[in-house]
Amino acid sequence: MGGGATLSNPQTEMARDYVARARVVVAGNSSILLEAALAGTPAIYYDMAGRIEYNDYYGYVRGGICLAAASTDDLLDLLGNNIPVASPAALRHYSETATTPWFGNEGYLVSKTLSLILREDDPGKLYSKTNDERHCFGSVYRLSAPTNG
In this prediction, residue 90 carries a pLDDT of: 93
What pLDDT band is residue 61 in, cutting at 50, 70 and 90? very high
- Higher-confidence residue of 6 and 22: namely 22
Strands (E), 6-138: 25-27, 43-45, 67-68, 127-131
pTM above 0.85, yes or no: no
63-119 residue pLDDT tens: 999 999 988 899 999 999 999 999 998 998 888 888 888 888 889 989 988 998 899
Q: In what order do the strands lie in the sheet with 25-27?
A: 25-27, 43-45, 67-68
Query: What confidence score (pLDDT) does residue 145 get?
Result: 65
Question: What pLDDT sits at residue 136?
Answer: 62
- Non-local (6+) Cβ contacts of 88 within 8 A are 98, 99
The pLDDT assigned to 1 comes to 47
